[in-house]
Amino acid sequence: MKTYKIVILGPPGSGKGTQAKMIAEKYGIEHISTGDIFRAKRGDGTELGNKIKELIDNGNFVPDDITIKIIEEKLGSIEGGYMLDGFPRTIPQAEALKGFADINMVIYIDVKDEVLVSRLSSRLMCKCGESYNKITKKPKKDNFCDKCNQELYQREDETPEVVQERLKIYKEKTEPLLDFYKDILVRVDGDQPINKVFEDIKKVLS
């Protein structure tokens, strides 16, 4: 069987985190989310944690050198396949990744701007890592996680102002990756129900 070394790309709110988890589970590969890694560090009380908190709460990126080091170390400890979610996000990160990983596919989840803004402002998170959406992926019990029953919360970087800033930075810094990866890039329509997007991704991977 092929070892999947996949990057999933898409604007904030495209649903890439949800799809990344589903793919990782189905194909038995590791899900590596830089967003999750940074959210875990942001509250740890260290100097680095405080710096990360300030950056992500304002919708800014964590510097390339810090991000690259974390991912390089993480990939060094993985034997099989993996799914990179949220990395790379800039051309320098993609250049660095080429030096320490052989990515064999890039999945791009394509969603229009208008849809992104409304999705992001209705997203709900759980401390256990699950995410929900008041419109597209409601929890069974209002405001509580289906998996662990903890109370859900809204991310601090999902206020309307910060969402606009994140989309602007995505266009400037991350969108150029679509061209960078054009030879191994597969586009999937992300403006569909979650399971339909997943079906399309499975077709691409089989």
In the set 10, 11, 12, 190, which binds ligand AMP (CB under 6 A)? 12
Does 123 qualify as catalytic in the annotation? yes
C-alpha distances out from residue 191 to 14, 45, 116, 141, Å: 8, 38, 9, 25
C-alpha distances out from residue 59 to 4, 76, 162, 192, 205, Å: 30, 29, 5, 26, 32
Q: For strands 105-110 and 82-85, give the pairing.
A: unpaired
- Closest to ligand AMP by CB, 19 vs 34, is 34
Does 42 qualify as catalytic in the annotation? no
Note whether 86 binds ligand AMP by CB under 6 A. Answer: yes
CA angle 52, 178, 190 (to 5 degrees): 85
- Total residues contacting ligand AMP by CB under 6 A comes to 17
Residues between 162 and 181 that touch ligand AMP (CB under 6 A): 166
Q: Which residue is nearest to ligand AMP (CB)?
A: 35
Stretch binding ligand AMP (CB under 6 A), from 19-27, 84-92, 111-119, 186-194: 84-92
In the set 10, 11, 35, 190, which binds ligand AMP (CB under 6 A)? 35
In the set 21, 27, 53, 55, which binds ligand AMP (CB under 6 A)? 55
Q: Of 148, 174, 141, 153, give the one whose Cα is nearest residue 59.
A: 174
Stretch binding ligand AMP (CB under 6 A), from 54-62, 113-121, 136-144, 195-203: 54-62
In the three-class reduction of DSSP (H, G, I as helix; E, B as strand; rest coil), residue 177 is classed as helix
In the chain, the DSSP E strands lie at: 5-9, 30-33, 82-85, 105-110, 123-125, 131-133, 185-189
Binding-site ranges for ligand AMP (CB under 6 A): 12, 34-35, 38, 55-56, 59-62, 67, 86-87, 89, 93, 157, 166
Q: Which residues are catalytic?
A: 16, 89, 123, 155, 166
